[in-house]
A and B are shown apart, each in its own frame.
Chain A
Amino acid sequence: MKPAGSIVFFTTASGAGYGMLFWLGLLSTTHTLPTALWYGLTALIIAGALVTAGLLSSTAHLGNPQRAWRALSQWRSSWLSREGIAALLTYIPACLLALSWLIDPHPAPLTALLAAALAIATVYCTAMIYASLKPIRQWNNTWVAPFYLLAALFTGAICLAAITGFANPAAAATLSEFAMLTGLAAALVKLLYWRHIDTTTSASTVASATGLGHLGTVRSFEAPHSEENYLLKEMGFRIARKHAAKLRAYALLFAFAFPIAILFGVVAGVVPVTLILIAALCALLGMALERWLFFAEATHTVVLFYGRQA
């Protein structure tokens, strides 16, 4: 599948933004976060900016972005529609959270928890857009949704920890622990995901696609067209295996290994909390690379008709 820059940016940035909102909502009810007004507003504004920039970027993928509002209508059947609705609904408790912080840093638990729940629900809808697509075996599996959720929790926690570091180092250390735990879980799920896609094959083959398997091995003799068409450009994107292996290693290093090492140093008290900022930027970069690979490594059954493996 072709990795569209707009979607890679959207899922990475919005994932981190929703993750921040989740932790802000959840931890403001447990009085774990700093109470300074500037802190609450800065954190909520950065979370909102990441979410909004991502959502706007996703409309760049549309052929008719001015009609994007129509995408809110089919929530009964479409995960994309559900995602749009969940994304918009999340703005309500998120804005209430920001308003209430102006008055009191301990917002009503209902608003805070609603913001956290809707943020997570939005990320789940995003994941299910991919996980529900049967023709793409690298997406249509049980590892996709857990990874999207853990990735959002991890990048959200590390971004929030970076900001918290400037307000309250103790609270930043607590957040760093959450980030470490979710980061390790996310890395583990990603490894299991890679093992899954490497060891399974498509249930569909050129034999089942053409129904000619009863005649013997089916080979593509002649393609319908000499140049690439939409299907091959969009669904037939290919990445060389050796590059994929290297990029996986870079994704693991940047998204998880380096940031978690810094977080560990912060928790152990040997690294200054301000370094979490570097860890957060590194994690976002690594996550964008992971998201690019999520597309680049995915294959679609339509390529079977062209005699390729799905």
Chain B
Amino acid sequence: MTSLPTPLPGAKKLGLVIDLDTCVGCHACAVNCKEWNASGHSAPLTDSNAYQADPFGVWFNRVHTYEAGEGQGSRTVHFPRSCLHCETPACVTVCPTGASYKRAEDGIVLVDPETCIGCQLCAWACAYGAREFDADDGVMKKCTLCIDRIYNENLPEPERVPACVSTCPASARHFGDFNDPASAVSRLVLERGGYDLMSEMGYQPTNKYLPPRKPAAPAAATPPAETGATSSLLRWLDRALSR
């Protein structure tokens, strides 16, 4: 059913918080996502010409890098982009078959590969580019929030998080329940001013982004050397003693 579900009482709202302050742009999340999903629920994530000219592949996670601001005040910000599991996702409501759906129990947006006809209308409806068509399977594929990890009782409990979260070396990605005000993700959003991407679309993304922190005030300029020493040894001594 592609009409949006009425949230069940006590239902979870699972999603990610992505910390743009700590993301180092290493692409490990994107690579681990590809690795996990190429062999799990969404497998195979088709790659064509992987080792030749014009390689082309389906990925659920893409890391952009932006520059913002000018001159001394400018920042380089690494920006992972994946499905935001929106609360009112148009990718679900436009689906003519019911293959694209939002789960009532935890809000995860999924595609049923058995009923998807591959019309690609959902990819057009998503403002964020979260969906990529797998031409080999003829069906649309997307981030599942690693549904085959987070509920997988064969995995030790600490590993029951999305692959991108488990692999992030900078702990820039956090997974949890936004409906629980005491959860780590809810607290992070509250404390750090977590925000929605393209809120003007009205899709109400579940995933939140944490803005880069303000840079520390620049260190005061070192006072000029007092001795007027000309020899390099004396200048070094002066610097060493001034510390």
B166 at the interface (CB under 8 A from A): no
Please give the distance in Å from A3's CB to the nearest CB on chain B. 13
- Cβ of B69 within 8 Å of any chain A Cβ, yes or no, is yes
Chain A residues whose C-beta falls within 8 Å of the C-beta of B120 in the assembled complex: 61, 63, 234
Bound Cα distance from A222 to B63, whole angstroms: 9
| A255-310 CB contacts (< 8 Å) to partner B | 300-302, 305-307
What is the CB-to-nearest-CB distance from B206 to chain A, in angstroms, rounded to a whole number? 15
Which residues of the partner chain B approach A213 to less than 8 Å between Cβ atoms?
68
Q: With the chains together, A136 CA to B73 CA distance in Å?
A: 33
Name the interface residues of A63-117: CB closer than 8 Å to any CB of B: 63-65, 67-68, 70-74, 76-81, 84
Count A interface residues, CB 8 Å.
60
Q: Which of A205-237 contact B (CB under 8 A)?
A: 206, 208-225, 227-231, 234-235
Q: Which residues of B contact A136 (CB under 8 A)?
A: 124
Q: Are B67 and A218 in contact (CB under 8 A)?
A: yes
Stretch from A47-55, A127-135, A165-173, A182-190 forming part of the interface with B: A127-135
Within the assembled complex, what's the spacing in Å between the Cα atoms of A225 and B30? 11
Interface string of B1-19 (1 = CB under 8 A from A): 1111000000000000000
Q: Does A239 contact B (CB under 8 A)?
A: no
Contacts A63-B138, A63-B139, A73-B98; A210 near B117 (Cβ below 8 A):
no
Inter-chain contact B66/A71, CB cutoff 8 Å: no
Taking a contact as CB atoms under 8 Å apart, the answer to whether B93 and A134 are in contact is no
Which residues 113-137 of B sit at the A interface, judged by CB distance below 8 A? 115-121, 123-129, 132-135, 137
* B132–chain A nearest beta-carbon distance, Å: 4
16 new A-B pairs (CB below 8 Å) besides A70-B96, A208-B197, A300-B124?
A: A1-B124, A62-B117, A63-B116, A63-B118, A74-B96, A203-B200, A210-B77, A210-B197, A212-B75, A212-B77, A215-B69, A219-B68, A222-B65, A223-B64, A302-B128, A305-B64
| B56-94 CB contacts (< 8 Å) to partner A | 56-59, 62-70, 73-77, 79, 81, 90, 92-94
A-B contact count (CB 8 A): 206
List the A side residues contacting B2 at CB < 8 Å: 74, 76-78
B26 contacts the other chain (Cβ, under 8 Å)?
Answer: no
- In the assembled complex, how far is the CB of residue A303 from the closest CB belonging to chain B, in whole angstroms? 9
Q: Which residues of B contact A204 (CB under 8 A)?
A: 127, 198, 200-201
Q: Are A78 and B93 in contact (CB under 8 A)?
A: yes
**B40 interfacial contact with A, CB 8 Å:** no
A210 surroundings in chain B (CB, below 8 A): 64, 66, 68, 77, 79, 197
Q: Which residue of B lies closest to A310 (CB)?
A: B127
- Would A234 and B133 count as touching, CB distance under 8 A? yes
A24 to B113, CA, bound (A): 42
Nearest-neighbour CB distance to chain B for A251, whole angstroms, equals 23
A residues engaging B (CB < 8 A)?
A: 1, 61-65, 67-68, 70-74, 76-81, 84, 129, 132-136, 203-204, 206, 208-225, 227-231, 234-235, 300-302, 305-307
Pair A134/B201 contact, Cβ less than 8 Å: yes
Residue of B nearest to A231 (CB): B129
Is the CB–CB distance between B129 and A70 below 8 Å? no
CA distance A231 to B62 in the complex (A): 11
Residues of A within 8 A of B133 (CB): 63, 230, 234
Q: What residues of chain B lie closer than 8 Å to A77, measured between beta carbons?
A: 2-4, 92-95
Residues on the B chain within 8 Å of A80, using CB: 94, 96, 119, 121
A134 B202 Cβ-Cβ under 8 A = yes
Confirm or deny: B153 has a beta carbon within 8 angstroms of a beta carbon on chain A.
Answer: no
- Nearest CB of B to A209, in Å: 5
Chain A residues lying within 8 Å of B211, measured Cβ to Cβ, are: 211-212, 214
